[in-house]
Structure 1
Amino acid sequence: MHDDTEAGRRGGGPLAVVAASAEVLRHPGVDERLLTDGERERAARFRQESTRQDFVAAHVLVRLCAAQLIGTTADGVTLAQSCPGCGKADHGKPYLPDHPGVHVSLSHTKGVVAAAAGHRAVGVDVERAERTGPHSEVMERVLTGAELRLVEKHADPQRAFLRQWVRKEALIKIGRITLDSMGAVDLSALPLETVDGVPLSSRFEDLHVLDWDDEKHEATAAVVSPDAPRVVGLTDLG
């Protein structure tokens, strides 16, 4: 077994990547055989083929990301999930049974997936903008008053809303907040704008928050961790 703690000291913070589902599924050496029987059973339950592919791509990408972090191959990474509420293994927080010192997170939306892997807790989320934009009742439910004012006066309210949304989803995945507390957590002090596509780094309490826009895929993403995350490309993953 790899010494994941030592690897973390050598390699720095968590890795995070966003890619199109189709690109992930075309990555060299990648196919659905990387998934466990349970994951394949879950994938088969999706009615739409595109949604099934997003699920598969996210579960493949997180293996690629973890493999790059610890210096192994994707077929050497087993992914499991566990729900602390009901105890079932077909949903819940993902983890690597064979590498307990490695933390992982994944996300998928329409045609785009994200993954992150690090040696301390990490959460990642990605979303694509909807043509209709966010509904006012949704914004009022998940944003504080200060956040809502920033979003409403922004030149691109939909992108500004997504910025806060993915941040809060990433915080949920790391266990810092819950769905019920999204609207009480204020991130209005964090900057909203990236410059020339460069990832935007900020802090929330003791956490590093890294935001970026993937213009190619019209997606907005965020990753949070106690360690400073690094954004990598799909081609950087073995």
Structure 2
Amino acid sequence: MIVTSLPYSSLVRPPLAVAGHTDDVLDMVSGTLSEAERERAERFTRKRDRLDFVAAHLLVRHCAAELLGARVRTLTVVQRCEGCGQAHGRPWLAEAPEVSISLAHTSGYVCAVAGFGRVGVDAEHATNGPADERLVELALTPAEAKLVGDDNRRLIRQWVRKEALVKRGELTLDRLREADLSALSLEDGLSITLEWRGRHFVEWTAGTVIASAVTDEPAKLRLLGG
């Protein structure tokens, strides 16, 4: 693959996060997946999972194109695992490697973030009810566990934040307890912004979905389809 940088405005735009329900994204966002992405999509046995994957990969192109002031069709999303060499792992743009991108999908909902500097995003469904004790033990510090109590939505909010940090490249799943986010609010809100040790979180909810994007600078958030 020949990598060439795209010409774009010298004005550095703030990070951008975009999200929406899968069906809305597929209706509103156009684009074409790479051959590797199409092959991965075809491996999903459930149509719903396949559509979530496709929508998230189209959305991250849309997000990056808007950030760069570029056309969606000029961008190639690449994923290549450093361990096994297969087409998965942290995504990047072949034509603009200086821009970081991240994407996430959970049943019926997708989100993406793009920015200059490190970025990460995650989304999960979170119902009311008791917290999973095993997940608390895996992911939370004692201070976080005390704040979460037995509230599943609070637990998932912390989990999503830490998954976003993993995708940003500064945590791993076996070291989640090394990041203490107990200083951050756990209250539900349609859209909130938070700062933690120089990282900026933008968080939002959509029905049962809790989502969080973390960036170097405050990010703009756009929700598709209302």
TM-score by length of 1: 0.86
Q: Cα gap change, 1:53/1:82 in structure 2, threshold over 3 Å: closer, same or farther?
A: same
SS in structure 2 at match of 1:124: strand
- Corresponding residue for residue 172 of structure 1: 166
Q: Is the 8 A contact 1:163 1:211 kept in 2?
A: no
1:133 deviation in Å?
5.5
1:25 is aligned to 26
**Equivalent residues of 2:15, 2:113 under 8 A apart:** yes
User: 2:96 aligns to what?
Assistant: 99
Q: 1:192 aligns with which of 179, 183, 186?
A: 186
Paired residue secondary structure (1:6):
coil
2:40 paired residue number: 42
User: What amino acid does structure 2 have at the position aligned with 1:6?
Assistant: S
State the Cα distance separating 1:207 from its structure 2 match.
1.1
Q: Any residues of structure 2 matched to 1:49-88 within 5 Å, and which?
A: 49-86=47-84, 88=85
TM-fit CA distance, 1:92: 0.7
- Counterpart CA distance in 2 for 1:201 and 1:21 is 24
Secondary structure of 2:114's partner?
Answer: strand
- 1:124-135 to structure 2, matched below 5 A, reads 124-130=121-127, 134-135=131-132
Correspondent of 1:121 among 118, 122, 132 = 118
1:231 alignment partner in structure 2: 221
1:72 CA drift (Å):
1.9
Label 1:175 to 1:64 Cα distance change in 2 as closer, same or farther (>3 A). Answer: same
Same amino acid, percent of matched pairs: 40
1:2 match? 6
Give the deviation of 1:57 after TM superposition: 0.6
Residue 131 of structure 2 contacts residue 149 of structure 2 at CA under 8 Å; is this kept in 1? Answer: no
Tell me the equivalent position of 2:17: 16
Q: Contact 1:83 / 1:91 at 8 angstroms: preserved in 2?
A: yes
Letter in 2 for 1:98: E
**Structure 1 residue identity aligned to 2:210:** T
State the Cα distance separating 1:205 from its structure 2 match.
Answer: 1.6
Contact 1:24 1:61 (C-alpha < 8 Å) held by counterparts = yes
Shift of 1:82: 2.0
CA deviations on 1:93-152 (whole Å, 9 max, x unpaired) are: 100011122110000011111100111111011111257664211111111111111111
* Correspondent of 2:177 among 166, 173, 183: 183
Structure 2 spans left out of the alignment, 5+ residues:
none
Between structures 1 and 2, the one with greater helix share = 1
Question: How many angstroms does 1:74 deviate by?
Answer: 1.8
Distance in 1 between residues matched to 2:163 and 2:131, nearest whole Å = 15
- Once the two structures are superposed, residues 50-106 of structure 1 have per-residue CA deviations (whole angstroms, 9 ceiling, x without a partner) of 0011110100100111111111222221100122223x1411110001112211000
Count, aligned residues: 222
TM-score, length basis structure 2: 0.91
Give the counterpart letter for 1:234 in structure 2: L
Tell me if the contact between 1:43 and 1:52 (Cα under 8 Å) persists in the aligned partners: yes
Give the unaligned 5+ runs of structure 1. none
Which 4+ stretches in 1 moved above 3 angstroms?
1-5, 130-134
